[in-house]
Structure 1
Amino acid sequence: MKTVRLTMAQALVRFLENQYMEVDGAQHRFVRGVFIIPGHGNVVGLGQALSQEAKHLEIYQGKNEQGMAQAAVAFAKQMKRKQICVATSSVGPGAANMVTACGTATANNIPLLVLPGDTYACRQPDPVLQQVEHTNSLATTTNDAFKAVCRYWDRVVRPEQLMSAMINAFRVLTDPANTGAVCVAMPQDVEGEAYDYPVSFFAKRVWRLERRPATEAALADAAEAIRKAKRPMMICGGGVRYSEAHAEFLHFAEAFGIPYGETQAGKSATDWLHPLNLGGVGTTGCSAANEIARKADLVIGVGTRYTDFTTASKWLFKDTCKFVNINVSEFQSLKMEAVPVVADAKEALPRLEKLLEGYQTAYKDEVKVAKEKWIDELNRLDHITFSDKKSWKPEINDANADSAKRFAQDVNAQLTQTSALGAINAMMSEGDVAIGAAGSLPGDMQRMWRPTGVDTYNMEYGYSTMGYEVAGALGVKLAIGDKHEVYSFCGDGSFNMLHGELITACQEHKKINICLFDNASFGCINNLQVGHGNVTLCTELRYRNKDGLFGNFMNIDYAKVAEAYGCKSYTVRTMEELVAAFEDAKKVKNIPVLFDIKVLPKTMTDGYSSWWRVGDTEVSERKENLAAYADLQAHLKEVRKY
């Protein structure tokens, strides 16, 4: 057997260089690049290997370990899981910073490979810098924390172990049913140790995305269930986009007149104006989808995980409603006590359609009326204004109107969140991509957003990771290139948590557009807090006074922060300023743009007959808390049990 002597790290890089993905006969490199923050756990071993062995891999310098890994997640998501980037860190805190990103990847079934440095396998210098010593087991290191958020975990303590570790890592990374984060920990001494690796280990290796076919029995069961339904509804999940079953999903819906709602991951798979597209469904859904869902007698879920936001904590669909689930994951296909069809959507839908020949739903004008009603509401949301601040009281989410009025005075804000969002949406060009993750904006966007084209909506809402928005925008930009713009929608809370990769975007000459909605608060959680009977507590960004954090709202100049990094920035307080800034920003090339948009609190969208289960308190001195608890108990009488 022909061998080549390489260090473990050199062999790792050479292996990454030669991994390919094949989808429907077309091949491409599976690993695009590596995000790295060098430290004592990876700079000498893996750093040397990247310098020597990287021929095609693009190397990006991260600014925060979580941020660079989140960028890799967004990249893989935009690439429909068909290409990835790797993230590598030092030991200890650098490694721990990537744990959150791994949770993001695994919750959303997005492939992410992280390569954290680790303490010495030989243990001779222990305890080393940044090592956490566990008296119950010296084999435990910081990297064991990855086990709870990864689909596959390994630690290479001998150089020859790399081969089985990487084969299994890529087995998971390329498996659409079980993909997510993969952690391969690298003790820093082992990175530099050599082994005579078989040359065959570095040969071009092609990982095929196999389209799992449905069994005839499963399709027959599904067809029987659907034929019994009079008012079925489909749910377009992320699996539709990842399997590229856009046309098959739409053709199926059209063939039988079945309306459908969209999850956050499934949004932009089809045209939002399609007569059967009811829009977002569930807790952050719109009136059209939720009205039809409450009356549905069968739901056909395609590529969805049925999160609590999709099902409104299992309250949205009645107990009598049946389910058929088409999913590559057996685990996901069995949810909601469904008839399972474990298969790739692109393969299964056409075959199921043939079995249903002659079937039609019993809908008359209900879908058309529900959709027209929602489009009227969209128009209203686009044009809400509050010009007279002295007498102003919000008409939406007004549980804490006094705080909102105070913000308007302290910051001199005039814009409402829904009108600003609608205006930006209207000014974007065809093919531009929107990205978001946390706060109130994902709810507003699932309801209001009108995608500019197919697969132009990149919302991370499985883990709802604050800080994904800026880092993710960089990842999306790396995926789509310069042909289209990327617009990131984030609140001031998310921006303050993590925006270091804005510097990376400057460094890489990547124009990303950060739409920072500043309401000086964690607005979504403040709504949840006061809406369930509590007083405001640490959800607003105020100066401390004699009573606590109840002074004036902080008026932070985020535009200056971005300008200091090298971005083009704008401060926006009015619709006129927003329009002017947006049009001017279109002329900007090769540098990031930040819009510091001051928006009035409490101007988000309504709930539209949805519900979300939270832990309301059973005992309280406040009658408002007790009312919220009573409402919880009332809803629990109607929820599905599993």
Structure 2
Amino acid sequence: MTPTTSTASTTRLTVAQALVRFLAAQYTERDGTRQRLIAATWGIFGHGNVAGLGQALVEYADDMPYHQGRNEQAMVHAAVGYARQSGRLSTHAVTTSIGPGATNLVTGAALATINHLPVLLLPGDIFATRPADPVLQQLEVPYAGDVSVNDCLRPVSKYFDRVTRPEALIPAALQAMRVLTDPVETGAVTLALPQDVQAEAYDWPEEFFAERTWAVRRPGPDPNELAEAVTAIRAARRPLIVAGGGVHHSRAEEALAELAATTRIPVASTQAGKGSLRFDHPQDVGAVGHTGTATADELARTADLVIGVGTRYTDFTTASGTLFTGDGVRFLNVNIAPYDGHKLAGQPLIADARSGLAELTVALRMHEHRAAAGYVTEYTEDKERWEYRVDAAFEAEDPDLRPTQPQVLGLLDELVTEDDILINAAGSLPGDLHKLWRARSRDQYHVEYGYSCMGYEIPAAIGVRLAAPDRPVWALVGDGTYLMMPTEIVTAVQEGIAIKVVILQNHGYASIGGLSESVGGERYGTAYRYRSEEGDRTYTGAPLPVDLAANAASLGMRVLRAKTVRDLRAALAEARAADTPTCVYVETETADTVSGAPPAQAWWDVPVAETATRSSAVKAREEYDRHVSTRRRHL
């Protein structure tokens, strides 16, 4: 952190005015590139922030761009989308009023923190001076007078402070910037701002407003850890690299590609790490885990050394502890976070992903280390076989039929270039995308699966498009996700942000419906249908007469309806060429009648009723017990 100027003079401003001026002067720097840390502020105003931050944003409109949101959670998603597309070097701030506006931030904050993506939250808070008690929207806690609803944000924030005096803003703001720019600790940062303090004036030292540049570190590996890592890799017969989101955060894609090409070690990817290698790189073996490819998952089962790069090893990656089961398998974890570097009793290589991979490549090249030729032939042939399965899932033999969900992805696969960015978060699409999508660039695949938050896609697409204004940005949503949060379509229309939204109508929670069936829940309560006429209270009647295309059009979006594969191919091409927000609506065929995506290649632990009278649950429990027996704890 380097302030560029210093002076003893002061300026009298409100706390909110001072904060906006301070934020406008914060920058990040990595690899010689410098950019604004807080590029813009999103806001919805109420009595808790309109006279404070609202007024300050008007006062300094030339210094701090402002975006008008419709939903507080969605504003955080937009900011997170922007931050991810910006490589975590730039983000947005989000301001809300007190009460429900502030608590609406919690879901977005959890998503940001779980995914290690920076966002600054500035919720209004109740009066610090307590002129009346209680005030509107005050949560009364008999045992603690200093608790407000904003305390809900504490467990989902990487840093939290309540600024109850003007002078307290200075250390709080500096700490907030420190955390936002820390590659290990970054996530949601919350500065709760009592509405009276926001409007209070104070004599601020001018140096508080000096430009500051926060250097984003690239720590290299410890020499001893590096030497041990090289020894472990050279001793492995069946090594497998698992690329996680840290590869993208570090911009380590080229370093990973060089290591893979040098050593011929295969590379599988998590949801967050997909795209770390192009799909056609010889060492890319696709997705790993519950939503993985047969190629990657079989390599994972037989690996004797798993080299995790920037991964948290979530249960989807490890198949709930049932995937990495090879004899004597060990883990080598290249990670900037010591917490993640030690997971699965792994041998840590604590370093920035790009720095760590680069030094590993140099050391292994010195030893002329390469994977065995037979191993390379094995995974290369397996990868070719998987690609045939992808082609089969994408292929639509009759262009006049409704497409399946994989066929929708196949039509997009025909259309896109490396410039396109696909955004998704929840439902059955993440599984299909992870297994099937052929990522053409490091940032084309944008699936939020740390929190898998329904409603993320449309606002995130707005944030991504703001960060990449010249690239086609697609938000892929099912009908369930669309109904959660379509409101920011209005923002896209208002600002002329030309996102492309693809709505796949399958009449309910298709992903959870399938999961429900597999765990004995019989798809209960997962379909968007009328109740049964048989009187059994199930939702198995006719589909609801909901017209999501008309809804999107009513919010101002241009809508293209597609009934068949032929229609969809034309609609997607038209949407890609559009320079205004455009929606493609298609009702998909179910996999019950037309071939869908390949099934899961590895297990995922969703506990099943231990006792039940219905046969579906009894059978599901038997299957569950079988899988649980294969779980392995790595010590």
User: Is 2:610 the counterpart of 1:636?
Assistant: no
Among 222, 227, 233, the alignment partner of 1:226 is 233
CA displacement at 1:454 relative to structure 2: 2.8
Q: Deviations over 1:186-237 (max 9, x none)?
A: 0000001111111111101000011111110111111121121100000111
CA–CA separation in structure 2 for the residues paired with 1:604 and 1:364: 30
Which residue of the partner structure matches residue 322 of structure 2? 315
Which residue of the partner structure matches residue 587 of structure 2? 598
User: Is 2:424 the counterpart of 1:436?
Assistant: yes
Amino acid at match of 2:585: D
CA–CA separation in structure 1 for the residues paired with 2:387 and 2:526: 32
Cα distance change on mapping 1:376 and 1:326 into 2, 3 Å: same
CA–CA separation in structure 2 for the residues paired with 1:587 and 1:232: 43
Q: Deviations over 1:461-503 (max 9, x none)?
A: 000000001111111110100x221011111111101111111
CA–CA separation in structure 1 for the residues paired with 2:599 and 2:458: 27
Which residue of the partner structure matches residue 559 of structure 1? 549
Among 500, 505, 528, the alignment partner of 2:515 is 528
CA displacement at 1:269 relative to structure 2: 2.4
Among 204, 207, 224, the alignment partner of 1:217 is 224
Which residue of the partner structure matches residue 358 of structure 1? 368
CA–CA separation in structure 2 for the residues paired with 1:537 and 1:585: 36
SS in 1 for 2:240: strand
- Counterparts of 1:496-511 in structure 2, within 5 Å, are 496-511=483-498
CA displacement at 1:238 relative to structure 2: 1.1
SS in 2 for 1:420: helix
Report if the CA contact (8 A) 1:102-1:181 is conserved. yes
CA displacement at 1:126 relative to structure 2: 2.4
Which residue of the partner structure matches residue 584 of structure 1? 574
CA–CA separation in structure 2 for the residues paired with 1:105 and 1:604: 32
CA–CA separation in structure 2 for the residues paired with 1:507 and 1:355: 54
CA displacement at 1:573 relative to structure 2: 2.1
Which residue of the partner structure matches residue 389 of structure 2? 377
Among 504, 513, 529, the alignment partner of 2:500 is 513
Q: Flag structure 1 segments of 5+ consecutive residues without an equivalent.
A: 389-412
User: Is 2:380 the counterpart of 1:368?
Assistant: yes
Which residue of the partner structure matches residue 5 of structure 2? none
CA–CA separation in structure 1 for the residues paired with 2:315 and 2:217: 30
Q: Deviations over 1:573-607 (max 9, x none)?
A: 21011012122223422x21111110123465233
Report if the CA contact (8 A) 1:33-1:57 is conserved. yes
User: Is 2:26 the counterpart of 1:19?
Assistant: yes
Matched pairs, number:
616
Q: Deviations over 1:165-201 (max 9, x none)?
A: 1111111100011110011100000001111111111
Which residue of the partner structure matches residue 626 of structure 1? 618
Which residue of the partner structure matches residue 197 of structure 1? 204
Q: Deviations over 1:346-368 (max 9, x none)?
A: 11112222332222223142111
CA displacement at 1:385 relative to structure 2: 6.0
SS in 2 for 1:15: helix
Amino acid at match of 2:345: E
Which residue of the partner structure matches residue 568 of structure 1? 558
Which residue of the partner structure matches residue 458 of structure 1? 446
CA–CA separation in structure 2 for the residues paired with 1:555 and 1:269: 42
CA displacement at 1:624 relative to structure 2: 2.5
Which residue of the partner structure matches residue 249 of structure 2? 242
CA–CA separation in structure 2 for the residues paired with 1:430 and 1:247: 16
Amino acid at match of 1:361: A
Amino acid at match of 1:471: P
**Identity across the alignment (%):** 41
Report if the CA contact (8 A) 1:384-1:418 is conserved. no
Which residue of the partner structure matches residue 94 of structure 1? 101
Report if the CA contact (8 A) 1:290-1:610 is conserved. yes
Cα distance change on mapping 1:42 and 1:274 into 2, 3 Å: same
Report if the CA contact (8 A) 1:444-1:604 is conserved. no
CA displacement at 1:19 relative to structure 2: 0.1
Amino acid at match of 1:221: E
CA–CA separation in structure 2 for the residues paired with 1:567 and 1:353: 49
CA displacement at 1:310 relative to structure 2: 1.0
Q: Flag structure 2 segments of 5+ consecutive residues without an equivalent.
A: 1-7
Amino acid at match of 1:496: L
Amino acid at match of 2:383: K
SS in 1 for 2:107: helix
Amino acid at match of 1:381: A
CA–CA separation in structure 2 for the residues paired with 1:153 and 1:385: 55
- Counterparts of 1:60-99 in structure 2, within 5 Å, are 60-99=67-106
CA displacement at 1:270 relative to structure 2: 1.9
SS in 1 for 2:476: strand
CA–CA separation in structure 1 for the residues paired with 2:175 and 2:20: 16
SS in 2 for 1:566: coil
CA–CA separation in structure 1 for the residues paired with 2:628 and 2:576: 49
Among 125, 130, 138, the alignment partner of 2:145 is 138
How high is the TM-score relative to the length of structure 2?
A: 0.95
Amino acid at match of 2:563: R
Which residue of the partner structure matches residue 13 of structure 2? 6
CA displacement at 1:387 relative to structure 2: 9.4
Which residue of the partner structure matches residue 324 of structure 1? 332
Report if the CA contact (8 A) 2:80-2:118 is conserved. yes
Among 444, 454, 457, the alignment partner of 1:469 is 457
SS in 1 for 2:324: coil
CA–CA separation in structure 2 for the residues paired with 1:20 and 1:529: 48
Report if the CA contact (8 A) 2:609-2:621 is conserved. yes
SS in 1 for 2:50: coil
CA displacement at 1:634 relative to structure 2: 2.1
Which residue of the partner structure matches residue 38 of structure 1? 45
Q: Deviations over 1:502-560 (max 9, x none)?
A: 11000000111111111011000000001122222110000134432221012422111
User: Is 2:610 the counterpart of 1:615?
Assistant: no
Cα distance change on mapping 1:6 and 1:118 into 2, 3 Å: same
CA displacement at 1:570 relative to structure 2: 1.6
CA displacement at 1:280 relative to structure 2: 0.8
Report if the CA contact (8 A) 1:68-1:471 is conserved. yes
Cα distance change on mapping 1:244 and 1:620 into 2, 3 Å: same
SS in 2 for 1:606: coil
SS in 2 for 1:365: helix
CA–CA separation in structure 2 for the residues paired with 1:538 and 1:563: 28
Report if the CA contact (8 A) 1:14-1:54 is conserved. no
CA–CA separation in structure 2 for the residues paired with 1:41 and 1:321: 55
Report if the CA contact (8 A) 2:519-2:606 is conserved. no
Which residue of the partner structure matches residue 393 of structure 1? none
CA–CA separation in structure 2 for the residues paired with 1:414 and 1:176: 45
- Counterparts of 1:397-408 in structure 2, within 5 Å, are none
CA–CA separation in structure 2 for the residues paired with 1:472 and 1:27: 24
CA–CA separation in structure 1 for the residues paired with 2:209 and 2:62: 14
CA–CA separation in structure 2 for the residues paired with 1:167 and 1:325: 32
Which residue of the partner structure matches residue 348 of structure 2? 340
Cα distance change on mapping 1:587 and 1:215 into 2, 3 Å: closer
CA–CA separation in structure 2 for the residues paired with 1:555 and 1:284: 32
Report if the CA contact (8 A) 2:241-2:308 is conserved. yes
Which residue of the partner structure matches residue 115 of structure 2? 108
CA–CA separation in structure 1 for the residues paired with 2:568 and 2:26: 45
CA displacement at 1:384 relative to structure 2: 5.1
CA–CA separation in structure 2 for the residues paired with 1:178 and 1:303: 14
CA–CA separation in structure 2 for the residues paired with 1:505 and 1:282: 35
Amino acid at match of 2:278: D
